[in-house]
Structure 1
Amino acid sequence: MNAEQLQKTLVASQYAEQVLNLYQSQLEQDYSEDQFLCSLSTQSIHQKVQETVAEIKDEQVWMKALRILRARLMFRWIWQDANQLTDVVTLTRELSDFADASICAAKAFARIPLVAKHGEPISYEGQVQDLIVIGMGKLGAQELNLSSDIDLIFAFDEQGETNGRKCIDVQQFCILWGQKLIYLLDHITADGFVFRVDMRLRPWGDGSALAISYMGLEKYLSQHGREWERYAWIKARVITGGKAGADLMEMARPFVFRRYVDYSAFAAMREMKAMIEREVMRRNIEDDIKLGAGGIREIEFIVQVFQLIYGGSKRELQDRQCLVNLHHLGEAELLDQQSVDDLEDAYLFLRRVEHAIQALNDQQTQSLPTEPELRQRMLDTLGFADWTAFINVLNQKRDKVKVQFKQLIQEKEFSEPIDDFVKLEQKLDAVLDDDAKNLIQNFWHGQALRKIPASALERLKKFWPHLIEAILQSDQPQMALLRLMPLVESVLRRTVYLVMLMESRGALQRLVKMATVSPWICEELAQYPVLLDEFLSMDFGLPQRQDLEDSLRQQLLRIEIDQVEDQMRVLRLFKKSNVLTVAASDVLAESPLMKVSDALTDIAEVSVQATLNLAYESVAQRHGYPVSTTGARCSLDAKGFAVIGYGKLGGIELGYGSDLDLVFIHAFEEQAETDGRKSISSAEFAIRVAQKFMSLMTTQTLDGRVYEIDTRLRPSGEAGMLVTSLKAYEQYQQKSAWLWEHQALVRARSIAGEATLCQQFEEVRCQILTQVRDENEVREEVLKMRQKMKDHLGSSSEQKKHGIFHLKQDSGGIVDIEFMAQYAVLAWSGTNPDLAHFSDNVRILEDAAQAGCLSSEDASALIHAYLRERAESHRLALANQSMQVNAADWHDTREIVCKLWQRLIDPSATIALDSE
């Protein structure tokens, strides 16, 4: 052995001296095999444990062998730590791997005599039952320290009985199994122990059954699980139990990570912190580097509170390891990078100090030593000249943690204290009519409030005066109150959202303002309260395309391809939260119409592209990828599949409630087959991709739909194939399509899919649109189509008599302008091909002026009228109002549009708007 390294090891640990005296020859052999100088893989640790106990039948011999192995490995780990041949992450991982391997070995050894005596444990369904061992705390997170105990929970899948001569039920069998496992690891013999085992984190704690069934655990967590147990279960990990264990962990996940953003974690954190502080004072352990102020526990608390708040919506925060989650918090910008760096630095330092403390005597303690000799040993290990120097560095690290912890969980100041609630209610009564007063009266005395927990009712009572105060500052207090009441009712059992609004006065004021403008926004928030989190954190700038792509990609990367429900949830909340952001920017920041439409279109396109990727890979996983006759494989990077957007999506003019008009095309060799085990034709592959795409987008879940999708603009409409080859699409457009289908093609644009195929589509579109057409025929067909739309969708004669104007469908409305733009492309692009370049109306009209087909004045007048009418349509959509408006307010704008319509499309049209 290296003499200098050995000396450092023995200085660092009195326990290491004892191990060396007992097992010197084995340790010299370990050293000669370079085991002290390199890291051990998970596989090698498991193999080492298995080889140590593989042939042993006698219980006492088995226990002795594993304990000696533990002592040898502990000597190695102390050697590496004292000589800085390892790092905290590697060391804690190896310790955790050894615990896993020991548990697996003990479980296997304990089962043999039980089966011999009682038979196999069999469920009532006939399945052999396994003992599910769940690692909690540092073991679950694979962060064990040098002298950690291990926190375990034992479970099993289903009730039943054993099939031996001495029959017992499955639960009793698993209890005996667990008891023997604990004994094999925990019992102190002449050779020590393997791990101290702590079972107090099991349901109901000490005194309860040692093993619990899946159903029993599910019932406990849903009905009796306490807030501190959510923190404990963050780190839970199945060590043994196979698929049954994995299913159990999936069942427990909603208990830990709520579907909605959970600000109640702050209150639970404060209570837990207060309990720990009382314990620290009672036991006089301020120098405990784990439990003391600025210690390891506070760093873990900081990370865990973010996990509980955001983990349900940000899957990356469900990781068990503290450092991994710290990095995720930085990436998600929930913590700034300097805070992440400070906390990581403090955590690694404190964990190394913890190892130095525990190496001294193999004791489970985090308290700084008081004896001069032990202090000196620790200083030598950590490389400090004296105790004062060490304490100065320790305090610097802990002070940074204390600052972060205080900022996170300190009681947030609510808005100014509301002293006279009676006066507030009197002011509110003065601005409400009788119906509104009755609504409030019924709310406070209705059944809903009688069914909620007392804590929720208390939060509601605290929130109510803050809501009234904000409403009274509104221009339309009654409207704001009536629109916000459904939202308040929807969160009665999730009153953390009320806490969120109390803790952010500005957010409550913004919510009231948005309520007066948009009932649609209020309805979205009431139906999907998880969106409140986005509302509270948004900066009211419009989302940028690259940010949208990065955000959705990161969220979906963490979901397996077969986790369809999780995929659907991410897609739906991505769309809804970002549309909400746009709406807030529209209302509160008064963003320009074109920018709003661009942002709404970007959200749709990003959603379509991501959904196409998921659908394509899902079908390919089952059937393989399409293969051409030359053997080329159409993989993810070369799909041969594209999605075409028509209508508002194609025209980059999406509104808040717009559905998506889509057409699917492919470029596969239709008779070729896929290369998977369940091979299908390439044509069938394309259809299944489109069907899967539609399912992901349109299936109604608790989170709604992503978008409604209309595919009727595909070749031959509803009678046609869902997916068409590009070649067939081109032939249809050339030979069979009606002029109105070419008119729809004006607003078509490739949205997602393979770049080459998208470009080929654009070329086909341009080729079709730039055909030379007879202007009179185009004018006649466009006029016929427009009249059909007016007859079916426009205002009735009676409505017109009463001064009603349908902003979209009536004469002088949005559709007139759209039809004029489309007419320009169909009639004039044969000699002016640049007119077919863009799919949006504004740029088409600008190009028509550039080409001399329209005067600049006429183009500008149409664009101005179009933008004004579309802006009003957006406002009406946010207000949940129909497109029927007061005709008198739009006379001048309509007159401009109608005169140009008469000049371009219908010279025989009369302009008599007042008589309508």
Structure 2
Amino acid sequence: MSEPWDSLPAALSKDVSGCWPAVFPQGVPDWLARGGVTRPDVAEAIARSLFIRQALERHSGQIHPAIVDRPLTEPTTEAWLQARWQTFLAVVDSESALHSALRQYRREVQFRIIWRDLMRWADLEETMAATSAFADTAIDGALNWLYQQACEEFGTPYGRDPATGQEKPQRMVVLGMGKLGGRELNVSSDIDLIFAFPAKGETRGGRRALDNQQFFIRLGQRLIQALDQITADGFVFRVDMRLRPYGQSGALALSFAALETYYQDQGRDWERYAMVKARVVAGDQKAGRVLMESLKPFVYRKYIDFSAFESLRSMKEMISREVRRKGLENNIKLGSGGIREIEFVVQAFQLIRGGRDRELQQRELLRILAELEVLELLPSQVVSELRSAYVFLRNLEHALQGMEDKQTQILPDDAISCARVARIMGFESWQDCLAELDAHRGNVARHFADIIAIDDHGEADDGGVDDGCYELWLSDMDEDSALEWLESHGFENPKDSLQCLADLRHSRTVQTLQTQGRKRLNQFVPLLLNALMGVNNPSETLSRVLQLVEAILRRTAYMVLLMENPGAMTQLVRLCSESPWIARLLAETPLLLDELLNAENLYSPPAKEALQDDLRQQMLRIPYEDLEEQMEALRYFKKAHALRVAASELKGTLPLMKVSDYLTWIAEVVLDHVVDVAFANLVSRHGYPRRADGSACDTDFAIIGYGKLGGIELGYTSDLDLVFVHQADPQLATDGDKPIDNAVFYTRLGQRIVHILNTQTPSGQLYEVDMRLRPSGNSGLLVSTLQAFEKYQQEDAWTWEHQALARARGVAGCEDTLKAFEAIRHQILCRSRDKSALRQEVVDMREKMRSNLGTPETRKSEVFHIKHDPGGIVDVEFMVQYLMLAWSAEHPELTQWSDNIRQMEELGRAGVMAVEDAERLREVFITLRSTIHRRALQNLNSQVEAEAFSEERSYIQQMWQKIMIE
């Protein structure tokens, strides 16, 4: 008698035969057989999926009742899923029991769905519908139970019904986004949710009235924990809330009115794209319909809106950069010709024509594809090819995920996994499967390019390239002719340039390049030489650009990018000509070459709100728990936007004040996100910190920026002077399964933030962090309570710490905590002080700094240190800080600013300084700071020749005598 695995390919047969005794030591049980499952079926299933194998081996006792209740041969319906949940819900009597019931429910449902999908007993439509219905049932079931418990604890929330205007009890509305909203969920997917409630109001019937928003935020936190928290039974769904207004920094739950206002006033194009799929998946369905109707004008415009093409094109370019950065060409979702491109095609038509053609106001992709054919918006052949590709890619996606119940879209690279996927997809070999995949991806990529109109620049036109560029690189010239050619074409140091090219040509890396790589290099270098003839310092620029060339020799796709985009090549050469700092930045991170493709964006850095939006979009596809990838993406984000600022400064479109503003905004946006990531990671392990009233903290944590960050004066290489504070009760603990004291939680939060910022990754360091300005310096706690911070400032802080406080401001974190810090700062700065004693302390401190950091006496005739020498920047800063501390008690309005420029203006307005002195000192300060910025772009330090800025230095020294040496 043959064994049930004999019909499998050799690798899978051996794999199954080796594990069969462990899975079924007593043979296939009767309950599986009664469910219509044969021995060959079991062998086939465990050959295809490690998840199925492990479930049968470890959890067969739990899976057994569900299969007896409904055989695996029968479809998984929504009605059965809901009925099955009721059997679990019947024994739930506590929140921990709810968590356990949900996870056990997931285990048996996930087994059924993955079995039927991987065995091809279910088609794609059933798998997607069943997975989505399971999510709906789990979310709604958990929400209903938790809502009743919350009402018992806090009272029932009341407010005006948006439809009738009548006062009535309020329930939460949960919107499912993305594939959940479209009832197209993957077999191992996270879920994107948005929480809403009908109207503002208060709870009734509790110990004390609670604001409706606070009620629903607490309810939302508990719902997330019920679904997302990993316990001994596993988890239900990874929950992602970042699609809500303002992302992770926004309130967890918003009223209908607040949501409508946000989307009407601030909604971005990519949020329209996301909202196309939005669906009420749990909670108050009737109220949810009112909400969805109110948001429809934001999603679907009454006119034909072709601007959607541009926004989708921008999103695709951003995803393409991510694919290049991560090497995701084998990602069947994000890579070329993948699932995302099909979704973009369909949703482009929805956004463009959905307001006019109501048939397109649906969520399911395959239904909309059919409508596009009926409406004659796409040819039948295109629709057919996109539909076939979508079904194939989604089935392949489920195969990849179902093997181990993992969220992945990456093709495998080991033989056994490849064999499993091929078997699931119905192919004899992995090569046959890949051939079919490549055909589908080719079709999708072609249609996507045609429909979304991705620019295809084709091969670069090299008709204008001087023949000498080719002869020079390919060694067709003798040395004398080469030197003569270089000199005649403007190369200021032809001998060095020739040597640089020879060193590159004979380098080991070039010698070992494959044929394709050598061909591309031989095409690229002549184009580069030709472009260099357009700058004033081609020899110097060549040496700088060749750093980049050496970095991309084995990644010649970047050369192709520059060859196919002559404008990008021009920008590269110009920027490297003007700044060795930019040249080094590009060599360290070649992916930044993408930024050169769009000159308009390159020389128009975004303001803070747009920066927040850009980072939010980039981070939406990276799970918070993937800390390594979060760190890499943040480093790219910072470098890309710093490059834009530097390019704009060199072009003269950004004055000094704006340069510092933009660099400071970049840091603030990064810090806000880092707080969110670090907080979310700790909450997933330990739960939320608790307040004295029993509610969960909404971070209650803030980052205070000192020095250049606090003073909005960041440069390209500035470190960050930070202080961490929180206002949670340190005596209480978190509410998770592994609780820790609040004090420990916030200390770990601070440590994690410093780790994310400070750690050297392949992309370098995000920011260097200096924490020495915290209370008690390096010997003090990493994170202080606000009360401890205030006590220290009142009783123990030195004068120089109050000077530092003059340039401090909240830069990231909880709004309430930031406001509380500002009140403390104002109070400390406004203390009455003995002006004479204060002046002497500041002067003494300045002398210490000069002796330690200024130019030694023996060299003062040679150099002037712009920052630390007499008549330098620090003299101005100390004068301003002294005046702030001396006069804020009489002029409290002085404390409203933390930057030197506006503080000087305010001192003049208040009459503390003569207005003409304030204006002149401001101009001198800006001149010196501008010089430091420009020198940073040239990789130069802050020391200049001794005779430089003699007039400015003289004026600063006069003011020092006038203010500090009376």
Normalised by the length of structure 2, the TM-score is 0.57
Spell out the pairing of 1:524-673 with structure 2 (5 A cutoff).
524-537=585-598, 538-634=601-697, 638-673=698-733
- Inter-partner Cα distance in structure 2 for 1:340 and 1:323: 21
2:518 aligned with 1:457, yes or no? yes
User: How far apart are residue 817 of structure 1 and its match?
Assistant: 1.0
User: How far apart are residue 889 of structure 1 and its match?
Assistant: 2.9
User: How far apart are residue 830 of structure 1 and its match?
Assistant: 1.7
Unaligned runs of 5+ in 2: 1-29, 60-115, 125-183, 190-311, 386-390, 393-443, 473-481
2:475 aligned with 1:428, yes or no? no
- Inter-partner Cα distance in structure 2 for 1:336 and 1:544: 30
- Inter-partner Cα distance in structure 1 for 2:332 and 2:908: 54
- Taking a change above 3 Å as real, the CA distance of residues 330 and 646 of structure 1, as seen in their structure-2 partners, is farther
Equivalent of residue 461 in structure 2, options 396, 407, 414? 414
User: How far apart are residue 752 of structure 1 and its match?
Assistant: 1.2
The residue that corresponds to 2:930 in the other structure is: 871
Q: Rg bigger for which structure? A: 1
Amino acid in structure 1 at the alignment position of 2:662: A
The residue that corresponds to 1:837 in the other structure is: 896
User: How far apart are residue 301 of structure 1 and its match?
Assistant: 14
2:912 aligned with 1:853, yes or no? yes
The residue that corresponds to 1:311 in the other structure is: 323
2:814 aligned with 1:741, yes or no? no
**What SS does structure 2 have at the residue aligned with 1:311?**
helix
The residue that corresponds to 2:820 in the other structure is: 760
The residue that corresponds to 2:885 in the other structure is: 826
Aligned-pair identity in percent equals: 36
> Does the aligned pair in 2 maintain the 1:307–1:318 contact within 8 Å?
no
Q: Render the CA deviation track for 1:688-726: whole Å, top value 9, x for unaligned.
A: 110111111111111112111100000000000001111
- Inter-partner Cα distance in structure 2 for 1:492 and 1:615: 37
The residue that corresponds to 1:814 in the other structure is: 873
The residue that corresponds to 1:205 in the other structure is: none
The residue that corresponds to 1:505 in the other structure is: 566
- Inter-partner Cα distance in structure 2 for 1:780 and 1:873: 29
- Inter-partner Cα distance in structure 2 for 1:404 and 1:56: 47
**What SS does structure 2 have at the residue aligned with 1:904?**
helix
Q: Render the CA deviation track for 1:475-531: whole Å, top value 9, x for unaligned.
A: 111111111111111000111111222222222222222112211111111011111
> Does the aligned pair in 2 maintain the 1:697–1:705 contact within 8 Å?
yes
2:751 aligned with 1:691, yes or no? yes
Amino acid in structure 2 at the alignment position of 1:484: V
User: How far apart are residue 424 of structure 1 and its match?
Assistant: 7.9
- Inter-partner Cα distance in structure 2 for 1:762 and 1:592: 29
Q: Render the CA deviation track for 1:197-218: whole Å, top value 9, x for unaligned.
A: xxxxxxxxxxxxxxxxxxxxxx
- Taking a change above 3 Å as real, the CA distance of residues 405 and 773 of structure 1, as seen in their structure-2 partners, is closer
User: How far apart are residue 55 of structure 1 and its match?
Assistant: 3.9
> Does the aligned pair in 2 maintain the 1:460–1:498 contact within 8 Å?
yes
Amino acid in structure 1 at the alignment position of 2:906: D
**What SS does structure 2 have at the residue aligned with 1:582?**
helix
The residue that corresponds to 2:42 in the other structure is: 108
User: How far apart are residue 403 of structure 1 and its match?
Assistant: 5.0
- Inter-partner Cα distance in structure 1 for 2:47 and 2:943: 81
User: How far apart are residue 564 of structure 1 and its match?
Assistant: 1.0
The residue that corresponds to 1:170 in the other structure is: none
User: How far apart are residue 623 of structure 1 and its match?
Assistant: 1.0
Amino acid in structure 2 at the alignment position of 1:533: D
- Taking a change above 3 Å as real, the CA distance of residues 853 and 420 of structure 1, as seen in their structure-2 partners, is same
> Does the aligned pair in 2 maintain the 1:535–1:580 contact within 8 Å?
no
> Does the aligned pair in 1 maintain the 2:323–2:334 contact within 8 Å?
no
The residue that corresponds to 2:764 in the other structure is: 704
Spell out the pairing of 1:199-218 with structure 2 (5 A cutoff).
none
User: How far apart are residue 870 of structure 1 and its match?
Assistant: 0.6
> Does the aligned pair in 2 maintain the 1:848–1:859 contact within 8 Å?
yes
- Taking a change above 3 Å as real, the CA distance of residues 113 and 704 of structure 1, as seen in their structure-2 partners, is closer
Spell out the pairing of 1:214-613 with structure 2 (5 A cutoff).
310-313=322-325, 318-319=333-334, 324-325=340-341, 349=372, 353=380, 404=451, 408-409=455-456, 411-421=458-468, 425=472, 426=482, 427-429=485-487, 431=491, 432-537=493-598, 538-613=601-676
- Inter-partner Cα distance in structure 1 for 2:447 and 2:117: 40
Comparing 405-414 and 516-525, the one that deviates more: 405-414
- Taking a change above 3 Å as real, the CA distance of residues 767 and 447 of structure 1, as seen in their structure-2 partners, is same
- Inter-partner Cα distance in structure 1 for 2:785 and 2:757: 22
**What SS does structure 2 have at the residue aligned with 1:664?**
strand
The residue that corresponds to 2:777 in the other structure is: 717
- Inter-partner Cα distance in structure 1 for 2:802 and 2:48: 78
> Does the aligned pair in 2 maintain the 1:646–1:661 contact within 8 Å?
yes
- Inter-partner Cα distance in structure 1 for 2:518 and 2:854: 49
2:921 aligned with 1:862, yes or no? yes
- Taking a change above 3 Å as real, the CA distance of residues 326 and 895 of structure 1, as seen in their structure-2 partners, is farther
Q: Render the CA deviation track for 1:828-874: whole Å, top value 9, x for unaligned.
A: 11211111221000000001100111111111111000111111100
The residue that corresponds to 2:18 in the other structure is: none
> Does the aligned pair in 2 maintain the 1:480–1:516 contact within 8 Å?
yes
Amino acid in structure 1 at the alignment position of 2:872: G
The residue that corresponds to 2:160 in the other structure is: none
Please report the RMSD computed on the Cα atoms of aligned residues, expressed in angstroms.
4.4
Unaligned runs of 5+ in 1: 1-49, 60-105, 129-180, 187-192, 196-234, 241-299, 359-363, 366-396, 908-916
Amino acid in structure 1 at the alignment position of 2:928: E
- Inter-partner Cα distance in structure 1 for 2:42 and 2:867: 73
User: How far apart are residue 561 of structure 1 and its match?
Assistant: 2.6
- Taking a change above 3 Å as real, the CA distance of residues 56 and 877 of structure 1, as seen in their structure-2 partners, is same
- Inter-partner Cα distance in structure 2 for 1:751 and 1:834: 20
Q: Render the CA deviation track for 1:720-756: whole Å, top value 9, x for unaligned.
A: 0001111111111111111000001000001111111
> Does the aligned pair in 2 maintain the 1:639–1:754 contact within 8 Å?
yes
Amino acid in structure 2 at the alignment position of 1:414: D
**What SS does structure 1 have at the residue aligned with 2:722?**
strand
- Inter-partner Cα distance in structure 2 for 1:127 and 1:478: 68
The residue that corresponds to 2:202 in the other structure is: none
Amino acid in structure 2 at the alignment position of 1:600: L
- Inter-partner Cα distance in structure 2 for 1:576 and 1:456: 27
User: How far apart are residue 616 of structure 1 and its match?
Assistant: 1.1
User: How far apart are residue 888 of structure 1 and its match?
Assistant: 2.1
User: How far apart are residue 183 of structure 1 and its match?
Assistant: 14
2:753 aligned with 1:674, yes or no? no
Q: Render the CA deviation track for 1:778-804: whole Å, top value 9, x for unaligned.
A: 2111111111111111112232122x1
Comparing 615-624 and 428-437, the one that deviates more: 428-437
Q: Render the CA deviation track for 1:416-464: whole Å, top value 9, x for unaligned.
A: 4325225984432553253443222121112121122221111111111
**What SS does structure 1 have at the residue aligned with 2:812?**
strand
User: How far apart are residue 325 of structure 1 and its match?
Assistant: 3.7
The residue that corresponds to 1:135 in the other structure is: none
- Taking a change above 3 Å as real, the CA distance of residues 420 and 663 of structure 1, as seen in their structure-2 partners, is same
Amino acid in structure 1 at the alignment position of 2:839: R
Comparing 312-321 and 700-709, the one that deviates more: 312-321
**What count of residue pairs does the alignment treat as equivalent?**
608
2:959 aligned with 1:900, yes or no? yes
Spell out the pairing of 1:81-96 with structure 2 (5 A cutoff).
none
- Inter-partner Cα distance in structure 2 for 1:593 and 1:756: 32
